[in-house]
Amino acid sequence: MDKRTLGFIFALIASYFIIHTWFDQPSTTPVTVVDEAKTTFVVDTSLRASHIPTSQERKQFDLVMLYSDVELTDAVTVAIRQDQSFITLAWKDTLPENLFMKGAPGDPKNTLRVNLAIAPEKAGDPVLYTHYPNQKLRLPTIPSTGQYDIALLYFAGNNTDPQIIDGKMVKENEILVGEKPPLNSIIIFEYQNQAWPYAIYNAETDQVSFLDKRDLFADTAVVVFPGGEDKEFFKDEEFYVLENAYQQLVFSTIDGSLAEINLPFESESNQLSVVRPIGFSQLIKTDSPQNATFPQHPYREIEEDGKLSDLKQPMFGGYYPLLRRDIIGTGGRVSTHIPPHYYGLNIIWGPNSPDTFKYKVTNTTKDSITFVSQQKSRRITKTFSFPENVKEAPYVIDLTLTIEGDARGLLLTPGIPEVDLISGSFNPTLKYRSRRGQKSKVEDIKPPKRLVEYTMSIPDWICDGNGFFGIILDPLNQNPPGFSVHPVSGELAPTRLTVVDAEYDRFPAEKYPGYEMHLALNPTPGTYQFRVFAGPFDRTILKTVDATYSDPQTGYNPDYLACQTSHGWLSFISEPFSRFLYLLLSFFHTVTHSWGLSIILLTIALRLMLYPLNNWSIKSTLKMQSIAPKVSAIQEKYKKDPKRSQMEVMNFYRENGVNPFGGCLPLLIQLPFLIGMYDLLKSSFELRGASFIPGWITNLTAPDILFSWKYPFPFFGNSFHLLPILLGIVMYIQQKYSAAKTTGRTPTDQQKQQKMMGNIMAIVFAVLFYHFPSGLNIYWLSSMLLGILQQWYTGKRLKAQKQ
């Protein structure tokens, strides 16, 4: 590679870093970092600065004037009204016990007295007046993801002169404002033409404090759902846990559905589980420990005797969350509540149905729980249970559903799976199996951008997964035609990954939408059975479940194993090679009990199988090197006639039985195996979390991590992967070793081209493989090293034969 080429590559890389570093910087000017929640104020001049609220804004924020006298002549402050509660900022240290405001039109005196409920410590502090005793504010739970409108209310001259600064809230901990507030302000969350006070900005200390830390919050908090209806998240929502060695099922009394499905990790005390912890679980425990508790909320457990335990507190770590769960913010506040609409095994009335219903627990045994809901036009009974022999049906839930009354238009949802990155990519897996006569076929569904309905299909089952885990919903009775897939905004149902390096927005919620599937229920009242698989797409586990529920007499096989595969657009190449490689890999694993060592042995086996072809290619390359001087002489002889030179060189190659492209054959031969190995690592749960070298290669389906740092850099992220760098070095050494020794003579054009291509390919592969799974890097690195060894051995033998 000449200096100009090196300079071009260096300039290209430098430009890449400069551009990304420049454009990744915010276009706003940071002002300060505030309070223990690390909420940041940022001035954004594109937003409107302070202004007197218009009449429309006064109506939206429900600003009212409070007076010191019943005649309403001495105005003392403007307050934000919420029902019969009024919040404002103290205009002096000591405030009157009672204030007055204009009352309802039907009031004879047309006045309303309000009483001091929360007194301030000093002027500028928040203060609460209420009409009824012991009344408090209802505060919103602010979503931790997405961007929302806010306003900052302060008083310019006195408390009767309100000013408003427009702003936006980004991910709960960053506030963009048109200008920095000069005085203490009430921060108002704007949603659906309503104003929700939720924090106070102290201009003197330059800090933000949340109202729920000042004893101003109510017994019920309003949960705000972007794009949906406001709902009250009542304190009497209860959670019940049914657990075995494979699953922790967390049921909610809202909709009698699954708020959580948590899968215990494999451990010395639990040898039945096949789920291993990976790096993200540890990162969440470190970065956001409040989101690493299972279940997330206090619960009552069904004990061995079938009775309910006393209220228990969540445990720290030990599980993988199969469903997307609430995101807990700073101070233990629920910053994003997953709407019950998206709970697992929930009955809904449409993709955007806002209705939720309370269910009561009517019966419990050690392996089952029953919920009942009496609704306006129907009565619904849900019984969830584990199979009698869970070892024969691991990760299976049996659901018995009884509908009395109006059963029309009901849909059953499996829930929204958590994100599990595969090779660093988001890989939702949506499938269904349909039957035509005696034949059944599993179809892949491309993740849709909007609601997609399959009105004519009668599915045997539907599958909603993330590549390595998922939920299979299998109706055991005759079901009507129809199911649908509905995309769900990542801000509405955020993944747990959003809390990892949240200050750098490493995993923005909008990039990871969920997909909710809806299965149409029978429109006639009755009792219906469903089998639900909720767990890892482990080949052995799925085969066990398939064998348990297969019927040899009828030939029925549920074929849940089909959910395990995750092939791309090259599946016609990758699938057969992937299956072949898995057979070999499984064989070596039974001997070594190490998936990493098995990959190396697999590489050796493939090299032995392809030895004759590789040997022929190496001999062809060495022969080309031996005749290189004669080729140079031909090129020199006809250097003034390039076409004649090329024709004479090709004739010379033909006469000497040399294929100039023979050196490319090993790469072309190995390409299908490389694609098959990549596909294998994407679709083989068994390798997820499989460690090879502790502290370095801890997950064969993810990149290796030699060391990491906090701040993410463009392309590199926040961790250093050594294997792809070693791969690039070995490829460079291989091409140097295989290149013709041109000392003392002019290299041919073919040799120059091969040398340049070899250098470029070493760089390209190092960059290309940088974020690829460590298992794939181990395979390719081993193959390159074995290729060098074979080349050295073949050259040595040929040299000995000549002597």
10 Å CB burial of residue 278 (0-12, 13-18, 19+) is buried
Distance of CA 197 to the CA centre of its chain: 31
**What does the H/E/C string look like for 147-174?**
EEEEEEEEECCCCCCEEEEEEEEECCCE
What percent of the chain has pLDDT above 70? 83
**pLDDT score of 209:** 82
Smallest CA-to-CA distance from 308 within 370, 377, 227 is with 370
**27: confidence class by pLDDT, cuts 50, 70, 90:** very low
> Which pLDDT score is estimated for 572?
64
H/E element, 465? strand 459-465
Average pLDDT, the chain: 82
Arithmetic mean of pLDDT, 262-285: 93
Question: What's the confidence (pLDDT) of residue 226?
Answer: 40
**pLDDT on residue 6:** 43
Q: What is the mean predicted confidence (pLDDT) over 755-780? A: 87
Q: Over 50: is that where the pLDDT of 7 sits?
A: no
- Reduced to 3 states, what is the DSSP secondary structure of residue 459? strand
Report the relative pairing of strands 63-67 and 469-475 from DSSP bridges: unpaired
pLDDT of residue 651: 83
Cα–Cα distance, 407 to 506 (Å, whole number) = 45
Contact residues for 473 (Cβ-Cβ < 8 A; gap 6+): 345, 412, 414, 461, 462, 463, 464, 517, 519, 530, 532
29-224: what CATH class? mainly beta
**pLDDT value for 561:** 93
> Which residues face 114 on adjacent strands?
99
Task: State the Cα–Cα distance between residues 578 and 404, nearest whole angstrom.
Answer: 49
Are 234 and 220 in contact by the 8 Å Cβ rule? The answer is yes
The residue written with tokens 């059975």 in the block is: 529
What are 518-545's pLDDT values in tens digits?
999 999 999 999 999 999 999 999 999 9
87 and 63 Cβ atoms separated by less than 8 Å? no
pLDDT band at residue 724 under the 50/70/90 scheme: very high
Global pTM value: 0.72
Write out the two tokens for 595.
């998936």
Q: 623, 616, 700: which is closest to 655 by C-alpha? A: 623
CB 507 within 8 A of CB 498: yes
Q: What is the rounded average pLDDT of the residues 768-778?
A: 91
Alpha-carbon span 296 to 294, nearest angstrom? 5
Maximum distance among all alpha carbons in the chain? 121
Q: Average pLDDT of 6-21?
A: 41
Q: Confirm if 468 and 422 have CB atoms less than 8 A apart.
A: yes
CA–CA separation, 590 and 565 (whole Å): 22
Per-residue DSSP letter, 56: H
Is the model more confident about 754 or about 220?
A: 754
**DSSP-derived secondary structure for 508-525:** -GGGS-EEEEEEEPPSS-
Q: In whole angstroms, how large is the CA radius of gyration of the chain?
A: 33
Predicted pLDDT of residue 757: 74
Query: Does the N-terminal peptide bond of residue 133 adopt cis geometry, omega within 30 degrees of 0?
Result: no
Q: What pLDDT sits at residue 216? A: 56
Alpha-carbon gap, residue 35 to 302, rounded angstroms: 41
DSSP per-residue codes, 122-155: STTSEEEEESSTT--BPPEE--SSSEEEEEEEEE
- The whole-number average pLDDT for the span 569-591 is 83
Long-range residue pairs from 764-767, CB within 8 A, at least 24 positions apart, any chain: 765/724, 765/727, 765/728, 765/731, 766/724, 766/725, 766/727, 766/728, 766/731, 767/724
Return d(Cα 406, Cα 371) in angstroms, integer. Answer: 18
Q: For the stretch 755-793, what's the b/e string if a residue is b when 16 or more beta carbons lie within 10 angstroms of its beta carbon?
A: beebbebbeebbeebbbbbbbbbbbbbbbbbbbeebbee
Out of 344-353, 417-426, 579-588, least confident range: 344-353
Question: pLDDT tens across 622-679, in order?
Answer: 777 777 778 778 877 888 888 888 888 888 888 877 776 665 666 677 778 888 888 8
Assess whether pLDDT exceeds 60 at residue 421. yes
DSSP bridge pairs for 757: none
Q: Average pLDDT, stretch 405-419? A: 93
Judge contact between 158 and 91, C-beta under 8 A.
yes
| Confidence category of residue 206, pLDDT binned at 50, 70, 90 | confident
Q: What is the pLDDT of residue 540?
A: 94
The token duo for 397 is 């839930």
* Model confidence band, residue 265 (pLDDT cutoffs 50, 70, 90): very high
| pLDDT for residue 224 is more than 50 | no
Residue 557 has pLDDT above 80, yes or no: yes
CB atoms within 10 A of CB 326: 21
- Higher-confidence residue of 84 and 9: namely 84
Give residue 239's pLDDT. 96
pLDDT band with cut points at 50, 70 and 90 for residue 505: confident
Q: Is domain 239-563 in CATH 2.70.98.90, yes or no?
A: yes
Categorize the per-residue pLDDT at 12 as very low, low, confident or very high, splitting at 50, 70 and 90: very low
Which tops the pLDDT comparison, 120 or 320? 320
| Per-position DSSP letters for 308-347, written without gaps between them | BPPPBPPEES-EEESB--PEE-GGG-EEEPPPGGGSBTEE
Which pLDDT value is given to residue 803?
62
CA distances from residue 192 to 48, 148, 177, 316 in whole angstroms, order as listed = 20, 11, 20, 37
Question: How many angstroms separate the Cα of 154 from the Cα of each of 45, 125, 353?
Answer: 19, 12, 39
Give the closest residue to 727 by CA, choosing from 773, 780, 654: 780
Cβ pair 363, 240 in contact under 8 A: no
List pLDDT tens digits, range 234-254.
457 899 999 999 999 999 999
Provide the pLDDT for residue 537: 95
- Category of 481 on φ-ψ map: left (φ > 0), alpha (ψ -120 to 50) or beta: beta
Q: Over range 129-149, report the average pLDDT.
A: 71
What is the rounded distance in angstroms from the CA atom of residue 370 to the CA atom of residue 289? 32
- The pLDDT, as a whole number, for residue 16 is 38
Indicate the residue type of 614: N
Residue 432 pLDDT more than 70?
yes
Q: What is the pLDDT of residue 353?
A: 59
Contact 541, 274 (CB under 8 A): yes
Please spell the DSSP secondary structure of 659-711, one letter per residue: -TTGGGHHHHHHHHHHHHHHHHHHH-GGGTT--SBTTTB--TTS---SEEEEE
Coil/strand/helix, residue 591: helix
The residues, any chain, with a CB within 8 Å of residue 375's CB and separated by 6 or more, are 357, 405
The answer to whether residue 569 scores a pLDDT higher than 90 is no
More confident residue, 217 or 366: 366
Q: Which of 185-199, 355-369, 377-391, 461-475 has the lowest mean pLDDT?
A: 185-199
Q: Which two tokens stand for residue 666?
A: 């090993």
pLDDT at site 677: 86
Domain ranges across the chain: 29-224, 239-563, 571-802
Rounded mean pLDDT of 490-499? 90
pLDDT at 5: 38
Query: What's the start-to-end Cα distance of the chain, in Å?
Result: 35
Question: Which amino acid is located at 606 in the chain?
Answer: L
- Give the 3-state secondary structure of residue 299: strand
Burial 280-301 (b: 16+ CB within 10 A, else e): bbebbeeebebbbbbbbbebbb
Would you say residue 303 has pLDDT above 70? yes
List, for residues 181-196, the tens digit of each pLDDT value: 889 999 988 765 667 8
pLDDT of residue 546: 96
Q: Which of 54-68, 288-302, 604-618 has the highest mean pLDDT?
A: 288-302
DSSP string over 654-672:
HHTT--TTGGGHHHHHHHH
* Per-residue confidence (pLDDT) for residue 26, from 0 to 100: 32
- Average of per-residue pLDDT across 143-159: 77
Of the two residues 138 and 26, the one the predictor is more confident about is 138
**DSSP letter (8 states) at residue 254:** B
Residue 553, CA distances (Å) to 35, 439, 550, 556, 557 in order: 68, 16, 9, 8, 11
Closest CA to 397 of 244, 561, 559: 244
Distance of alpha carbon 401 from alpha carbon 382, whole angstroms: 5
